[in-house]
Amino acid sequence: MGRRETFDTRPPFTAGDLAVRWQCSETQVREMCRSGMLEHFKIGKMYRILQSAVEEFELCQTSQSDGSGVGFASSGQTPKQESDGAISLKHARERRPKQKR
């Protein structure tokens, strides 16, 4: 997520406050911050999440993008379809078992 042009003067959420709001664990909120899914800042070891970042995240979770909808993949690549409508799948190489020492 990009940097904000305006300064959010509302008090930020703590991981605990946001966990209550989203009905999940504080650990899950912190993991979302660490993975980059949720914009945040830290004061020492404490995570703080701006209210504007929370609103933006919630908006993205509830709204559909132009390409989303029935019949569309939500992420990744979709399998290539041949002209007869069949889906062509590629088989992965078989892995060799590791040799024991």
In this model, does residue 19 exceed pLDDT 70?
Answer: yes
User: Measuring CA to CA, how many Å separate 70 from each of 33, 64, 77, 89?
Assistant: 30, 11, 16, 21
Q: What is the mean pLDDT of the chain?
A: 78
In this model, does residue 3 exceed pLDDT 70?
Answer: no
Residue 74 lies in a domain: no
Give the pLDDT confidence score for residue 12 in this predicted structure.
95
DSSP run (H or E) holding 30? helix 26-35
Q: Which of 29, 4, 63 has the alpha carbon at shortest distance from 38? A: 29
Give the pLDDT confidence score for residue 25 in this predicted structure.
96
Residue 35 lies in a domain: yes
Give me the domain span that covers residue 35. Answer: 14-62
- At CA 68, angle to CA 19 and CA 56, rounded to 5? 35
Residue 45 lies in a domain: yes
In this model, does residue 44 exceed pLDDT 80?
Answer: yes
Residue 19 lies in a domain: yes
Give the pLDDT confidence score for residue 30 in this predicted structure.
96
- Classify burial at 99, counting beta carbons within 10 Å of its beta carbon; exposed 0-12, middle 13-18, buried 19 or more: exposed
- Radius of gyration (C-alpha) of the chain in whole angstroms: 21
Question: pTM of the full predicted structure?
Answer: 0.56
Give the pLDDT confidence score for residue 39 in this predicted structure.
94
pLDDT tens digits for range 45-89: 999 999 999 999 999 887 665 555 554 444 444 444 445 556 556
Residue 39 lies in a domain: yes
Q: How many folded domains does the chain comprise?
A: 1
Helices 15-22 and 26-35, interaxial angle, to 10°?
110
Residue 1 lies in a domain: no
Residue 9 lies in a domain: no
Residue 2 lies in a domain: no
